[in-house]
Every structure is written in structure tokens, then in C-alpha cells.
């Protein structure tokens, strides 16, 4: 009889985070006479982005935030997007600004992310916040949402200190691969980042006590990639179509059934890392609001 790994329930964990955020946000609102404010900017009509942005707006409202969604057409110029960001930087009702990625290809995403006030950068993508994380500062409240959510999930299995554990991160994106490697390192794991140019990637993955798959390749990580008892975090969200049936299905970068047979703990797709990303965005917005109150209370 194959063993069954522990299922790390991202939806339930996300709810416990957002319930706590909603409690603290209610106290913030009572004390400050205003709600924490989140603005999400969506450029274009990418269907997946529309789903995520809608979920962010709904969750912000559920947490008791002032929530603004700014939808712009795909042909918006970079100058006009920078003007939107500038307006939000100077809007006293807004504590957190998120520009949904990917942006249309005519826009330089780095230029836009760098224009966000670092104190309102609830994605943690501004070079100042990314740089602080890369230099080992994990006390900065504005950590990128997906990696912060992943660490929350890992802690439910391993606790805070990952000393003596090998972590392998598959993927080196600026949104997930790089920042999660810094967070794992800060928690004392021994970290290896693998990517498309890595040799013997399967054998390397098999050495991992904690395996984070963030490559965007449907079900790439199978049984033979996973060390028995490992914790497997699946960041992939891939929609695969069945042309014959005319249906589609959401799958991760990990073969879920095979992982459940061999791993110690596994995150599912859907209802794994995705909901945690949105929950950590709520937590970041609240932290940004609290930090702004403190900053503005200090006489210049
Ligand atoms: N500015 C940003 N852009 C993007 C980020 C980000 O963190 N900041 N991450 C991803 C998309 N993303 C958040 O924006 C995100 C992806 C998936 C989910 C989620 O809850 N997924 C569900 C499934 C939803 C579905 O049916 O498609 C799940 O996994 O259960 C939330 C947020 C890229 N862009």
C-alpha cells in the first residue's frame, strides 16, 4: 500500500492568515479613522490576470480594506502607466500598490515596478525591497507574496529553523525562484537553485528535503525526482486542455499523485500556493499601512 503524504492545505492556511489580518485591520480602522488601502492595477485583458485581480479585490474587501482596482486597456502607454503609479504614490488613502504582472510587452515592467513608492510596494518587487531581501534582511515587512506564503507553508511542517535541511529550488525567476532561495537561506537551509541550464536536474532534485518547483512546466516533477519523505511545494499553475473532450484542467509543475505516494508533505494545485499568495498580499498591505502610520508620526 503506497504511503500518503500530508496535504498542505493552502486554502485553509490562507483563511487563517486573512482572518487574523481582518481582526487587526478592524482595530487599525478604529484607531486611525481610515481603512488600510490597497490599489491593484491591471493593464490589458489577460484572462488569468483578471481572475487573480478579482480575487485580490474580493479578499481586500473581506479583510475590511479600502480596495481600488484600476483597469486599463492593453494599449496604455508606459508614460500613462507611470502617471497612474505616481497618482497612487501620492494618494493618502492608499497604503499598498500592486501592478499585476505580466504587463504588455511594450511596457518596461522594471521601470514601472521601480516607480512604486518602496513603502507602498506590497509585492516586494521594488529594487530596494528586493535588494534588502537579497542581502539577508528578512525583517523588512514587504517580502514578495508567493515566497512569503511558501515559507508559511514550510513552517507548518518543519518549524522556523531549517538547519541541516537541503532545499532545492527549481526555477530562478525574480517573482519566486530567487526570493524563495533567499528566504530559505535566511532560515538556515542549505539551498541550491536549479534552472534550465542545470545538468542532472532530476538527480539534484532527489537530494532535496524541501523541493520548490517553480518552472511553469506541467507535471515535470515525477516520482523519481522526489526524495522519500521530502516536502514538495508546487508553485506551477498550468492550464492544460483536453482537445478531445473540450475541457481544461489546472495542474502544477509536480505530478500530484506520484508526489503523494513518495513525499512527506505536498502542496496541491489548485488550493495550494495560489491562495497563500493572495493572503500574504493582504498581510503586506496591513503591514504597509501600519508602517506608514509610524513613519508619518515621526516629526521630520
Ligand atoms: N504583481 C504580481 N503579479 C503576479 C504575481 C504576483 O505575486 N504579483 N503572481 C502571479 C499570479 N498571482 C498573483 O497575482 C496568483 C496566481 C494564482 C492564484 C490562485 O489563487 N490560484 C488558484 C487557481 C485559480 C484559477 O482557477 O486559475 C489556486 O492556485 O488555487 C493567486 C494569485 C503572476 N502575477
**The domain spanning residue 206 has which CATH number?**
3.40.50.720
95 and 169: one domain?
A: no
pLDDT at position 119: 98
164 and 96: one domain?
A: no
111 and 177: one domain?
A: no
56 is catalytic: yes
Q: pLDDT tens for residues 83-122?
A: 999 999 999 999 999 999 999 999 999 999 999 999 999 9
Q: Where are the alpha helices (DSSP H) in the chain?
A: 10-32, 47-62, 78-89, 109-115, 127-134, 145-158, 177-186, 201-205, 256-262, 273-297
Centre of ligand 1 to C-alpha 292, Å, is: 26
Residue 88 lies in a domain: yes
Which residue in 35, 95, 100, 209 is the catalytic one? 100
Residue 82 lies in a domain: yes
Residue 174 lies in a domain: yes
Q: Please, are residues 156 and 139 in contact by the beta-carbon 8 Å criterion?
A: no
Chain-wide mean pLDDT for the chain? 96
For ligand 1, atom 19, the nearest C-alpha belongs to: 274
151 and 269: one domain?
A: yes
Residue 173 lies in a domain: yes
Tell me the backbone φ, ψ of residue 262, rounded to 5 degrees.
-110, -30
Residue 201 lies in a domain: yes
Q: pLDDT tens for residues 45-94?
A: 999 999 999 999 999 999 999 999 999 999 999 999 999 999 999 999 99
For ligand 1, atom 20, the nearest C-alpha belongs to: 274
Range of lowest pLDDT (39-53, 148-162, 236-250): 236-250
- CA distance linking residue 173 with residue 125, whole number of Å: 12
pLDDT at position 50: 98
**What are the C-alpha distances in Å from 169 to residues 70, 175, 211?**
34, 13, 6
Number of domains in the chain: 2
Centre of ligand 1 to C-alpha 277, Å, is: 7
pLDDT at position 138: 87
263 and 151: one domain?
A: yes
For the segment 14-19, the average pLDDT, to the nearest whole number, is 98
- CA distance linking residue 247 with residue 241, whole number of Å: 6
Residue 136 lies in a domain: no
pLDDT at position 2: 63
Cβ atoms within 10 Å, residue 146: 24
Angle at 284 between CA 281 and CA 286, to 5 degrees: 115
Q: Give residue 1's pLDDT band: very low, low, confident or very high (50, 70, 90).
A: low
pLDDT at position 300: 62
Predicted TM-score (pTM) of this structure: 0.97
267 and 154: one domain?
A: yes
For the segment 268-276, the average pLDDT, to the nearest whole number, is 98
For the segment 135-158, the average pLDDT, to the nearest whole number, is 95
Which of helix, strand or coil describes residue 222? coil
Centre of ligand 1 to C-alpha 89, Å, is: 24
In the chain, the N- to C-terminal Cα span, in Å, equals 67
Residue 282 lies in a domain: no
Is the CB of 53 within 6 Å of ligand 1?
no
For ligand 1, atom 4, the nearest C-alpha belongs to: 101
Residue 54 lies in a domain: yes
Centre of ligand 1 to C-alpha 146, Å, is: 9
Is the CB of 98 within 6 Å of ligand 1?
yes
Which domain covers residue 96, as residue numbers?
A: 32-117
Amino acid at each position: 500500500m503506497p504511503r500518503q503524504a500530508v496535504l498542505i492545505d493552502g486554502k485553509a492556511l490562507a483563511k487563517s492568515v486573512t482572518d487574523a489580518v481582518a481582526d487587526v485591520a478592524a482595530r487599525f480602522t478604529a484607531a486611525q479613522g481610515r481603512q488600510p488601502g490597497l490599489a491593484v492595477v491591471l493593464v490589458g485583458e489577460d484572462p488569468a490576470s483578471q481572475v487573480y485581480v478579482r480575487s485580490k479585490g474580493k479578499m481586500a474587501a473581506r479583510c475590511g480594506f479600502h480596495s481600488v482596482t484600476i483597469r486599463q486597456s492593453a494599449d496604455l502607454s508606459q508614460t500613462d502607466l507611470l502617471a497612474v503609479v505616481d497618482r497612487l504614490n501620492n494618494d493618502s488613502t492608499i497604503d499598498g500598490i500592486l501592478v499585476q504582472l505580466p504587463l504588455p510587452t511594450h511596457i518596461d515592467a522594471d521601470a514601472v515596478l521601480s516607480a512604486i513608492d518602496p513603502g507602498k510596494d506590497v509585492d516586494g518587487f521594488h529594487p530596494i525591497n528586493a535588494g534588502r531581501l537579497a542581502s539577508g534582511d528578512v525583517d523588512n515587512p514587504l517580502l514578495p507574496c508567493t515566497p512569503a506564503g511558501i515559507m508559511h507553508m514550510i513552517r507548518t511542517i518543519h518549524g522556523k529553523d531549517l538547519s541541516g535541511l537541503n532545499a532545492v529550488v527549481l526555477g530562478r525567476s525574480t517573482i519566486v525562484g530567487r526570493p524563495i532561495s533567499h528566504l530559505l537561506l535566511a532560515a538556515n537551509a542549505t539551498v541550491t537553485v536549479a534552472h534550465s541550464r542545470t545538468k542532472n536536474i532530476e538527480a539534484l532534485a532527489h537530494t532535496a528535503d524541501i523541493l520548490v518547483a517553480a518552472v511553469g512546466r506541467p507535471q515535470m516533477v515525477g516520482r523519481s525526482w522526489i526524495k522519500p519523505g521530502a516536502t514538495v511545494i508546487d508553485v506551477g499553475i498550468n492550464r492544460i486542455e483536453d482537445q478531445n473532450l473540450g475541457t481544461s484542467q489546472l495542474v502544477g509543475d509536480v505530478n500530484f499523485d506520484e508526489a503523494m505516494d513518495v513525499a512527506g508533505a505536498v502542496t496541491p494545485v489548485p488550493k495550494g500556493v495560489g491562495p497563500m499568495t493572495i493572503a500574504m498580499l493582504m498581510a503586506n498591505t496591513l503591514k504597509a499601512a501600519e508602517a506608514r502610520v509610524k513613519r508619518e508620526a515621526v516629526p521630520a
